[in-house]
């Protein structure tokens, strides 16, 4: 039976993740209050950010930027898309 959470992003109950998807307190907060469906939305948004800003996720500055955007995406009113972004 899947673990259920009331998702902070979607505002409804959904399947919780099987493990913390990110290290540290932010990862635990996501594990406790974000559904698998919302996590998939973040992964798509993160991919767009990496592509649009041409980030290299192994670089510390890029990782910090993505972590900040992740926190905003889930708990801070949303992460903005780059001005130049044009959806397909």
**What are the pLDDT tens digits along the chain (88 aa)?**
789 999 999 999 999 999 999 999 999 999 999 999 999 999 999 999 999 999 999 999 999 999 999 999 999 877 777 766 666 6
CATH number at residue 64: 1.10.3880.10
What range does the domain containing 53 cover?
Answer: 4-75
Measure the CA–CA gap between 29 and 9, rounded to whole angstroms: 12
- Long-range contacts, stretch 48-57, CB < 8 angstroms, 24+ apart: 48/81, 48/85, 49/79, 49/82, 52/81, 52/82, 52/84, 52/85, 53/82
Q: Does 80 map to a domain?
A: no
Count of domains observed in the chain: 1
| Dist CA 21 CA 19 (whole Å) | 6
| Model pTM score | 0.87
Burial bucket for residue 29 (CB in 10 Å: 0-12, 13-18, 19+): middle
Exposure of 53 by Cβ count < 10 A (0-12 exposed, 13-18 middle, 19+ buried)? middle
């Amino acid at each position: 039976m899947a673990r259920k959470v009331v998702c902070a992003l979607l505002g409804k109950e959904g399947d919780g993740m099987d493990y913390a998807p990110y290290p540290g307190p932010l990862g635990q907060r996501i594990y406790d209050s974000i559904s698998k469906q919302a996590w998939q939305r973040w992964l798509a948004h993160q991919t767009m950010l990496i592509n649009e800003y041409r980030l290299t996720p192994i670089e510390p500055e890029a990782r910090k930027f993505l972590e900040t955007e992740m926190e905003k995406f889930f708990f801070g009113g949303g992460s903005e898309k780059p001005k130049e972004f044009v959806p397909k």
